[in-house]
Amino acid sequence: MKKMKMILTIAMLFVYGTQMNAQLKGNFEAFNAEKDEMGITGQYFGKSDKKGYGYRFVKEADGKIVNELHYFEKKKSAEPQLKLSMKESYYSKNQVKLFYVWMTSSASGYVELIEVDPGVFAQITQTEYSSNGGPAPLEAKRKVTDVYIKDQAKFDAWDVETAQAKVDLIIASLNTEKIEKETAEWKKNEVFAKNVDKVVFAAQWYHLQKQGYPDKLAVSGADFKTELDMAGNMNFMAFFSVPPSVKYPGQQINIEYEMGGKKTNRETLRKKSAAWSNMVKILETKNFEYRQSPTRAIREYNQYQSQFVQDYAAIQVLYYNKDKLKVGQTYDFTVRVYVHRDGENGAVLAEGTVKLKYTEAAKKVFEGDPTKPEVKGVFAQFEEFLNE
Amino acid sequence: MKHLFSLILPILAFLGINAQENQNIELGKLSSGNFTVNKVLENNGNFKFEIASKQWPISFTKDGSNFSEVTVNRAGIIEEKYQADLPGFPAYYKSETSEIVITAIDKKIYYYSYSVKTGASIKYIFSESKVKNYADEKATLDNYRTSIKELQSTTRTQRIEENNALAAKQEEENTLKGKTIKSINVISVSKPSEVGLLSIIAIGVEFTLDNGKVLKTKNLGGFTPYTDFDVEVSGGDYAGGDFKVADDSRKIPGDKLELTVWSKYDAKKVKGKYSCPANYKTDVNYNFSGASGASGRGGTVGYTINGKNGTDGKSINISVTSMQLNGEVVNKIVITDANSGSVLVESKMSINNTLNINANGGSGGNGSVDFGNGGNGGDAGNGGNVTVSGSGAASLKISVTNNGGTGGVGGKAKNQSFTQGMNGRNGNKGIFSK
């Protein structure tokens, strides 16, 4: 395929843009006499170099079903230059003929052919995903680099852009089906089924999501909390029916906090000043690519940084309520996750309410410990930030 | 001063020429039809345009004086429709299912994705006129998006205010504040069949007002906030529409769940009640594993370069008593600390369900990399011993995992003059007896 790429590149430089004004003759005309159940086998011409290539669909080899596409570019060679495997389920369920081969295990070694019309194949590359034993995942950004056409009468109809549009359409259709299937699979898990479109809370981030499992549900939910002590960690996470990166591509995420009738959100505060913009980072849907959001915190102790980290928008809402807080009381604290674009919230993606308990220890954390006057409470530190 | 004015004048002239128009004006300069496609090619971070061999049909839909929609017929085979972001003063046309947006500037139609962090990423420019280099076209588009956003503020503020007014109206109509409540109905959203420890049951509330109107919580399809009412709970906790059953059967008096609801704003405290028997038909999971040791962190207060030791899994005794509850056989399970004898937790569970116990030893922390010898890995904790006894022991389905932890890995030395730290010892598996 390296040789083929080089030939194609050179050929593109010289031949691109020229019109077909005569019937092309290739070296693989004999292939046209062969028949196969897929209707693939035959001589194909490259759109970019107008050269002939042999395609042969091979169903069986050595007594086994193989479902391969053999690709020939040398006339005298009995062996194909490439053997591409078919993704069988795409054909059996969707009638999509997709063949692939990993020439190396890196992303750049991936070659894929998709039939975009009977007798028309798009040659595709991708640069994101390394070999995983099957074809590149449907999320991969596929780029059509050439088109191979059996019937020369179709040469004018199919250029690279047309093939790209058709490939995008085919992949989008497969992706929709995959996402629906995945969502149904996730809903078989009771923890997801009962918490989808909700925000859940815990006193440790790893009670919400197992480390290294952003795309799998690997916690039992036993440690999800309906009440949290404000003195400790206050973590949360959202469950989405569809990953926001898929359903709301190219948009932002905004998080709103509400307590005691007062509410604010990250985007409003981020636009208030440079200090707020530095403190509250932009969240984009492209980083919310699973059915579980990254775990977040109202406030938590970060072992690595050896200090507490907190969402200043959440702390702002606690600060609004600081004069009402009484030891021993609980307060409903609501978190809403929105999709956001150009300063406006869109759909609510998830919502949850937790009771925050203002304990004696929490009072010391937020208002300061009288026995340690040198250590400032959270509210005093926050006031310093507000006065910056 | 004359000198300064002569500098400003060309800038003002430039800004005047490049004043940003909204898309209703920009699209007005174009007619629907076939457009030449300038495709962006990228090679190792370098971008250039190449003209595709076929033109693509693009059409513009008008709604009164505004252009409401742009339709791009990609390669003549895929019809993509894009709607105005802000109908009265559009900056671009968007689709809910694609990251692609469309903007026309000076008769060039940009097909691109946009990030507030990195700006535009152009895929195609549809134009009869020649396109500039990629960097210039991106700068034109980024500049337009930034400037037009400022100009949109009046229209956008108006839309936000309209949406806020709608939200406020909905809030006013659905809050319990200032409403006279005639009765309250507390309902489970779906009939729970398995109610055991840590089960979650979605429970909604309907408030019937004195005027006959019924307000509902979100999980029943309404808009009354969960924070508008107070609750009294027995057998678990209630928040955000979910009743979460307790993790210990001692917290479930009478083996039933009860919830009483009243409005925060109702002086008369009209109440609604919900009650549901617990059948304990859920698996029960308890974790008595030891903690992992922290990794070594040279130069940090409270740490050394050596990993800390993991702690042992707790050794426990499980006493199981068989009993009848609502005609079903359940096991009452009491778990005590094998060393102190104190009761750690009590639970009840149907004999058809499984008690899962984790009592693994914690792993040792890894030693840190250091300029001298690497830090030693911490020793791992041993698995806890688990002993089951009592009249229900034979019928108890139990799964126990009580492996020893893994010793921490010794940290590497940064240069060859020193040696890697020692690995920590692995923990031993605990004993399970039934």
Q: Tell me: the pLDDT tens digits for B76-111? A: 888 899 999 999 899 999 997 788 999 999 999 999
Whether residue A353 sits in one domain with residue A273: yes
Whether residues A271 and A333 share a domain: the answer is yes
| pLDDT value, residue A255 | 98
Which residues in chain A have Cβ-Cβ distances shorter than 8 Å to B77?
162, 165-166, 169
Domain span at residue A54 reads: 2-178
Residue length of chain B: 434
Q: Does residue A307 lie in a domain region?
A: yes
Q: Are A104 and A130 members of one domain?
A: yes
CB of B281 closer than 8 Å to CB of B354: no
Report the number of distinct structural domains present in chain A: 2
Residue B116: per-residue pLDDT: 86
Q: Would you state the pLDDT for residue A235?
A: 97
- How high is the pLDDT of residue A24? 67
Q: Is A28 exposed, middle or buried (0-12, 13-18, 19+ CB in 10 A)?
A: buried
> What pLDDT is attached to residue A250?
87
Mark yes or no for CB contact B77/A162 under 8 Å. yes
Query: Which residues of chain B fall short of a pLDDT of 50?
Result: 1-17
Closest chain B residue to the Cα of A351, Cα to Cα = B240
Closest residue in A to B112 (Cα) is A250
A346 found inside a domain: yes
Quick check: B196 and B278 in contact, CB under 8 A? yes
User: What pTM did the predictor assign?
Assistant: 0.79
Any domain includes A279: yes
Percentage of chain B with pLDDT > 90? 75
* Whether residue A163 is found in the same domain as residue A196: no
CA of B180, closest CA in chain A: separation in Å?
A: 20
Residue A373 confidence (pLDDT) above 70:
yes
pLDDT for A2 beyond 60: no
Same domain, A98 and A163: yes
* Statement: residue A199 has pLDDT above 90: yes
Instruction: Write the DSSP symbol of residue A23.
Output: -
A85 to chain B, any CB pair closer than 8 A? The answer is no
Q: CA of A132, closest CA in chain B: separation in Å?
A: 24
- Asked whether residue A54 is assigned to any structural domain, the reply reads yes
Q: Which of residues 118-137 of A touch B (CB under 8 A)?
A: none
Q: What's residue A10's pLDDT? A: 42
| Token pair recorded at residue A39 | 């209707």
Last residue of a domain, one of A178, A205, A224: A178
Q: Which residues of A touch B202 (CB under 8 A)?
A: 194
Rounded to 5 degrees, φ, ψ at A378 are -60, -45
Does residue A203 belong to any structural domain of this protein?
A: yes
Q: At what angle do helices A378-386 and A360-367 cross, to 10 degrees?
A: 30
Which of A126, A145, A178 terminates a domain? The answer is A178
Query: Looking at the domain assignment, is residue A351 inside a domain?
Result: yes
Residue B210 per-residue DSSP state: T
Q: Which of B109, B133, B101 is nearest to B30 (CA)?
A: B109
Task: Give the contacts of A226 (CB within 8 A, at least 6 positions apart).
Answer: A201, A354, A355, B237, B238, B239, B240, B242, B244
Structure tokens at A298: 């109202």
The percentage of residues in chain A with a pLDDT greater than 70, rounded to a whole number, is: 94
Chain A residues lying within 8 Å of B117, measured CB to CB: 282, 284
Do A165 and A205 sit in the same domain of this protein?
A: no
Do A290 and A378 lie in one domain? The reply is yes
Q: Are A78 and A104 contained in the same domain?
A: yes
**Model confidence over B180-216: pLDDT tens digits?**
999 999 999 988 888 999 899 999 999 999 999 999 9
Identity of the residue in A220, A247, A344 whose CB atom sits nearest the CB atom of B285: A220
* 3-state class (DSSP) for residue B378: coil
Question: Based on the domain organization, do A201 and A285 belong to the same domain?
Answer: yes
Per-residue pLDDT tens over the stretch A275-324? 999 999 999 999 999 999 999 999 999 877 778 899 999 999 999 999 99
Tell whether A248 and A356 lie within a shared domain: yes
Average pLDDT, chain A: 90
Q: Domain check: are A174 and A197 in the same one? A: no
- Pick from A125, A151, A178: which residue ends a domain? A178
Domain match, A157 and A270 both: no
Q: How many CB pairs under 8 A join A and B?
A: 105
Q: How many CB atoms lie within 10 A of CB B429?
A: 17
End-to-end CA separation in angstroms for chain B: 98
Residue A184 lies inside a defined structural domain of this protein: no
Question: HSE of A325 in the Cβ direction (CA atoms, 13 Å)?
Answer: 25
Considering the domain boundaries, does residue A183 fall inside one? no
Contact A300, A205 (CB under 8 A): yes
Over its C-alpha atoms, chain A yields an Rg (Å, rounded) of 29
Identify whether the C-beta of residue A282 lies closer than 8 Å to the C-beta of residue A252.
yes
Q: Does A248 touch chain B (CB under 8 A)?
A: yes
Residues of A in contact with B87 (CB under 8 A): none
Task: Given the cut 0.95, state whether the ipTM is greater than it.
Answer: no
